[in-house]
């Protein structure tokens, strides 16, 4: 087959073997700079919304349309700046045992950390972030240089409910990780910020736990009051120059943009995709040690897989941010 025909086929998401962003599949993290990883885990949510483990497979189905694409806003070709590979999925043989799964996730990502690759992951529910950061941030972690990581946490929910012993049986849960990572010395809350919090909650003091831990908060109400530019400035100032990790919960987006998420908050508008991308891009040039996209519910998606395609775009954005910094330091 001629090279021109090959390039045409590789530009179609429905041809060939599906991988994350159409990247080459290679299980060895030593062979990449950016490690794309699927984390098919859903027992950390503790609710009936448990199809989040199907997220990685759904994104592999549609995301190859981004394979080989350039980033027009940054004016870069991320594929030329970094070796980007799909490492496959974290093995979770006891998938219904949340605490065992989180430990397995940590073990898997320690291998990535030791190889010096920067992970960009698709979940899975939000408990996966706890397992990942236990491996790549804080004492003993190579990617953060042993430092605590700042967190850019874009979400409709705080996930810092340490006032609860467990969330429907899950202890290292999707509701707890934002708290225990601070208490364990993996996340520096004084450099971290939670953006997009919204919705009618079960208590009026729902933000108190994040405030107690030291996070800065930009609720959706505050975001609408101060505007995108001021929010981006606050994010950049808060994070500073140290290592930072991005965690992006798809429920931060307006339900019209991402209808297939685990915990919809339709009573208040969420971010548009342009606003969400701007919030990510405002930390361009910083030391991003990794990122994740979580809470995709492909069984609730529209026939055109729009939420999976949005998740793919956010995955591409985080990877491009990491590749861009790598290129600037070369």
pLDDT mean by block of 10 residues, the chain; 330 residues: 66 82 97 98 78 96 92 97 98 93 97 98 96 98 98 94 70 83 97 94 80 96 98 98 97 97 92 98 98 96 96 98 92
Q: How far apart are CA 250 and CA 264, in angstroms?
A: 9
Listed by start position, the domains of the chain span: 19-329
Q: Could you tell me if 316 and 73 are in contact, meaning their C-beta atoms sit under 8 angstroms apart?
A: no
Please, how many CA atoms are within 13 Å of residue 180, restricted to the half-sphere of its CB? 21
Please, how many CA atoms are within 13 Å of residue 37, restricted to the half-sphere of its CB? 30
Architecture, CATH, for domain 19-329: 3-Layer(aba) Sandwich (3.40)
Other CB atoms within 10 Å distance of the CB of residue 8? 12
Please, how many CA atoms are within 13 Å of residue 103, restricted to the half-sphere of its CB? 7
pLDDT of residue 1: 47
pLDDT of residue 168: 64
Could you give the angle at the alpha carbon of 86 between the alpha carbons of 78 and 10, nearest 5°? 65
């Amino acid at each position: 087959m001629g090279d021109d025909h090959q390039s045409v086929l590789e530009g179609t998401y429905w041809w060939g073997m599906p991988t994350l962003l159409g990247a080459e599949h290679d299980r060895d993290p030593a062979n990449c700079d950016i490690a794309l990883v699927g984390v098919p885990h859903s027992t950390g949510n503790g609710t009936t919304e448990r199809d989040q483990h199907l997220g990685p497979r759904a994104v592999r189905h549609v995301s190859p349309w981004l394979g080989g694409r350039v980033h027009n806003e940054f004016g870069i070709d991320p594929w030329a700046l970094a070796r980007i590979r799909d490492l496959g999925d974290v093995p979770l043989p006891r998938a219904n045992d949340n605490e065992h799964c989180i430990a397995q996730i940590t073990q898997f990502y320690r291998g990535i950390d030791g190889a010096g690759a920067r992970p960009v992951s698709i979940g899975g529910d939000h408990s996966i972030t706890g397992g990942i950061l236990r491996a790549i941030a804080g004492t003993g972690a190579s990617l953060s240089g042993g430092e605590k990581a700042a967190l850019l946490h874009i979400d409709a929910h705080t996930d810092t409910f340490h006032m609860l012993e467990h969330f429907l049986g899950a202890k290292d849960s999707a509701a707890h990780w934002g708290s225990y990572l601070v208490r364990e010395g993996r996340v520096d809350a004084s450099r971290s910020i939670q953006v997009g919090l919204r919705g009618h909650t079960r208590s009026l003091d729902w933000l108190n736990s994040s405030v107690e831990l030291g996070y800065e908060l930009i609720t959706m109400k505050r975001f609408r009051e101060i505007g995108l530019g001021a929010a981006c400035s606050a994010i950049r100032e808060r994070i500073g120059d140290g290592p930072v990790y991005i965690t992006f919960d798809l429920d931060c987006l307006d339900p019209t943009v991402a209808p297939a998420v685990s915990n919809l908050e339709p009573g208040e508008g969420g971010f548009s995709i342009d606003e969400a991308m701007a919030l990510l891009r405002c930390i361009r040039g910083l030391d991003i040690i990794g990122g994740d996209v979580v809470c995709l519910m492909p069984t609730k998606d529209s026939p055109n897989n729009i939420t999976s395609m949005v998740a793919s775009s956010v995955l591409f954005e985080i990877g491009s941010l990491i590749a861009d910094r790598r290129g600037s330091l070369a």
